[in-house]
Chains A and B, each alone.
Chain A
């Protein structure tokens, strides 16, 4: 069974940093692209960043480019999101997700999701 468990959320002041972690199990982590998707309170879903299976390629939405860094440790089956220079508009629940993979091709839908970790940016 695929399990994704996020941690590291909390209350942080604007301009400060926070690092999210996601522990993966139940699948071959090193085979999959991974992503972070966020959801502001009572709002819709927003893709944040993605990383290739080997960590060699990363992709970001414009509003977090230069402030957030996605990374992974395949030996630990873990995904990370380093968030610097946080803003109030970054307040959201952050979900760790797997992207689609059929054994041959990669697809950018989000196949499995963690339970999410809440990040609140406020003074």
Chain B
């Protein structure tokens, strides 16, 4: 199975700041990488697919980048509604696997 190592596990930042979350795959996943946001008590929502494509309706302050085994999610101009957990997922190969998550809080 492809292992997804996500960092940091938790993050505290101020409103208006830019934050970056990293995800490393145990092998090349050829941009088969998605990012999800899960707000407290809610189901996950797709943010990014194909490593850098924004899903319909997702604010442009979210962006994804990376290639090979290293990927990142950037959130510009952090807003209060961005408080959530964020997960990466590889879909290059079965079984699809997720990172362990990053919990984002406002400082």
Contact = CB atoms under 8 A, between A and B. Distances in A.
Interface of A: 37, 44-47, 59, 61-62, 95, 100, 107-116
A44 B43 contact: no
Contacts of A45: 36, 44, 87, 89, 98, 101
Contact of A110 (B32, B46, B99, B100): B46
A110 B43 contact: no
B21 interface: no
A47 B96 CA distance: 6
B43 to A, nearest CB: 4
Report which residue of B43, B44, B89, B94 has the largest number of chain A beta carbons within 10 angstroms of its beta carbon. Answer: B43
Nearest to B49: A109
B91 A46 contact: no
Nearest to B4: A44
Contacts of A112: 46
The dominant DSSP class at the B interface is loop
A62 B32 CA distance: 21
Given A44-B87, A45-B87, A108-B91, A113 B97 contact: no
Interface residues of B, number: 21
Nearest to B35: A109
Q: Classify the interface of chain A: helix, strand, loop or mixed.
A: strand
Contact of B97 (A47, A95, A100): A47
Q: Which of A95, A110, A116 has the most CB of B within 10 A?
A: A110
A46 B44 CA distance: 12
Interface string B22-38: 00000000001010100
Please give me the 9 A-B residue pairs with the lowest Cβ-Cβ distance, nearest first.
A108-B91, A109-B34, A47-B96, A113-B43, A45-B98, A109-B49, A61-B95, A44-B100, A44-B101
A108 B50 CA distance: 10
Interface string B72-107: 000000000000000101010011111111000000
Nearest to B93: A108
Interface string B1-41: 00000000000000000000000000000001010100000
Nearest to B42: A115
B101 A107 contact: no
